[in-house]
Amino acid sequence: MTRNSVKPGNELLFCALGGSGEIGMNVNLYGCQGKWLMVDLGMTFSGQEYPGVDLVFADLEFIEERTDDLLGVVLTHAHEDHIGAVPYFAMELGVPLYATPFTARLVMAKLEEAGIAGKVDLRVIDHLDRFDLGPFGIRYVPLAHSIAEGNALVIETPYGRIFHTGDWKLDDEPLVGTPATTAELAAIGDEGVLALVCDSTNVFNSAASGSEGAVRRGLMEEVAKHAGRRVLVTTFASNVARLETLGEVAKATGRRLCVAGRSLDRIIATGQASGYLKDLPDTVDFATAMDLPRGEVLIVATGGQGEARAALARVAEGSHQIKLEAGDVVLFSSRQIPGNEIAIGRIQNRLAGQDVRIVTDRQSLIHVSGHPGRPELEALYGWLRPQILVPVHGEVRHMREQARLGKACGIPQTVAQKNGDLVRLAPGKPGKFGEVRSGRLVLDGDIIAPADGEAIVMRRRLAANGVVIVAVAPGGRIDVAGLGLPLDEDYADFVAETRDDVAEALGKLRGPAKKDREARIEAARLAARRAATRWSGKRPQVQVMLLED
């Protein structure tokens, strides 16, 4: 399918540019009667596959070429994998953003930090009434999640009603916010739901996710066990209900609250401005916290995913003003995000080496997920009774398993899709009918570049095999430098032999090749690479400079 051939006609289309085939980086498109609607604009954090890179984005080329037909971006909630790309792409897209107040405040802070707050149209939806964008009628439906103002979307179209869940769970004791009731969800089902576009993250969990109320009781009990000890709790900064709980735990156990991490400061300020965390106790600074008796302080810190620059990592390595000693306790009130196990384990081992006790959700009820397990998915299917299930927000294994679950629960049709698949939901039988460009971009320094571009590919090669630099100076002098080769003891001998091999290779050139720049560079490159492979078993990148030119 050519890149310019897709314009929605009298039909309802769906296309994920991110978040289908991975957990994170959510970007979803709905198309109808010549127009497109975007739901969420998220990012993900880089792993080892992108050395030197922190942030990864969905490639938006498909919709960037169609911004005249894009009506707006509707944001379901304020997690980074749903709003994190906004400051990098909002201006280029040039359409209004829609969000509820808490989400809007966090988005505005991002826009202000990027210096573009006055150039982006951010519209706050401070009620749950329907608003219209072209052929789409949209209303927010509050659902429980691990952040304030998690929302699903009901999207009305001429071809049927979409229920787009965003991230969600069921929670009898959500503590913050008021999710839609069972009756309200069933009423939406009674009105008729064409398609349920649904979070797949926890589909393999046989149990429900659990409630924030149960976590509050668990944290109360756990902190009370450690009288006389300094207790640090690390949790997701965005979980406003968890922060409220920790404030209540501090008051109930006679401890002062200390907060370590800029993202926590930002969420607390945003939450209070949005009407949450009204009873959070006043916090103390680091110096005051360290002067208090050990059993009279409760520290809340960022870094539960092993982030190297976060507060917990610096506490563990002793470079933070917050100090822990033998017998102190760190509670991980968070789950391990897949891919972060090594980083988290490194911090936990460092803490354990200092005889600091570590407690995780495997030992105590101090965390519950913000995503639905199988019982919650089954309940939602029963209330909404959709005609079509479109699993999103998961790796392929999660989405395929949810499709199987939905089919087993009686949903008539399921659609297996991935990033870039064009899906027609109506009219007719739903399914994929084409593909569009999708992929990943990375924020590399100050530049947004292709994730599979030459710079990243070369960086991987350098990381794996090292580099050899050969300089040929006037008069035939040859200098060799090798970086990243396992030749500590043999390095001098390697350099000497490589120098001789390059000189010999250049000396064997005859005729026009003897003066041809490219021929000389290639002869020197091959000689140096053979020498490096012979000495180290590695196949490094080789850079040759002819200085006499």
Write the CB contacts of 43 (distance below 8 Å, at least 6 apart in sequence): 24, 25, 55, 56, 57, 80, 81, 84, 85, 88
pLDDT of residue 484: 93
Q: Round to whole Å and give the CA distance between 73 and 38.
A: 5
Q: Are 79 and 238 in contact (CB under 8 A)?
A: yes
From the list 12, 79, 39, the residue with the least C-alpha distance to 164 is: 39
| 3-state SS assignment for residue 82 | helix
Q: Are 272 and 280 in contact (CB under 8 A)?
A: yes
Peptide bond preceding 101 in cis form (omega within 30 of 0):
no
| 3-state SS assignment for residue 448 | strand
Q: Are 104 and 124 in contact (CB under 8 A)?
A: yes
From the list 291, 192, 171, the residue with the least C-alpha distance to 242 is: 171
For CA atoms 143, 145, 150, 154, give the dihedral sign: negative
Helical (H) or strand (E) element with 106: helix 101-114
pLDDT of residue 1: 40
Helical (H) or strand (E) element with 108: helix 101-114
Greatest alpha-carbon pair distance for the chain in Å reads 89
Number of Cβ within a 10 Å radius of residue 118: 7
- Asked whether the whole model's pTM tops 0.85, one would answer yes
For residue 306, give the amino acid letter.
G
From the list 82, 35, 21, the residue with the least C-alpha distance to 63 is: 35
pLDDT of residue 392: 98
Q: Following CA atoms 171, 172, 174, 177 in sequence, which dihedral angle do they give, to the nearest 10 degrees?
A: 100
Helical (H) or strand (E) element with 216: helix 212-224
Write the CB contacts of 391 (distance below 8 Å, at least 6 apart in sequence): 198, 200, 203, 398, 399, 400, 402, 403, 406, 414, 416
Q: Round to whole Å and give the CA distance between 141 and 127.
A: 10
Q: Round to whole Å and give the CA distance between 32 and 193.
A: 17
| 3-state SS assignment for residue 20 | strand
pLDDT of residue 549: 54
From the list 250, 258, 246, 234, the residue with the least C-alpha distance to 322 is: 258
pLDDT of residue 5: 64
* Phi-psi domain of 282 (left: phi exceeds 0; alpha: psi -120 through 50; beta: other): beta
Chunked mean pLDDT (size 10), the chain, 549 residues: 68 98 95 98 86 90 97 97 97 97 97 96 92 98 97 98 98 95 98 98 96 97 96 96 97 97 95 95 97 97 91 96 97 86 94 97 95 98 98 97 98 97 97 95 90 88 92 90 92 95 92 89 95 94 85
For CA atoms 31, 36, 39, 40, give the dihedral sign: positive
Number of Cβ within a 10 Å radius of residue 546: 16
Q: Round to whole Å and give the CA distance between 201 and 366.
A: 20
Q: Are 305 and 343 in contact (CB under 8 A)?
A: yes
Per-residue exposure over 229-240, b if at least 16 CB sit within 10 Å of its own CB, e if not = bbbbbbbbbbbb
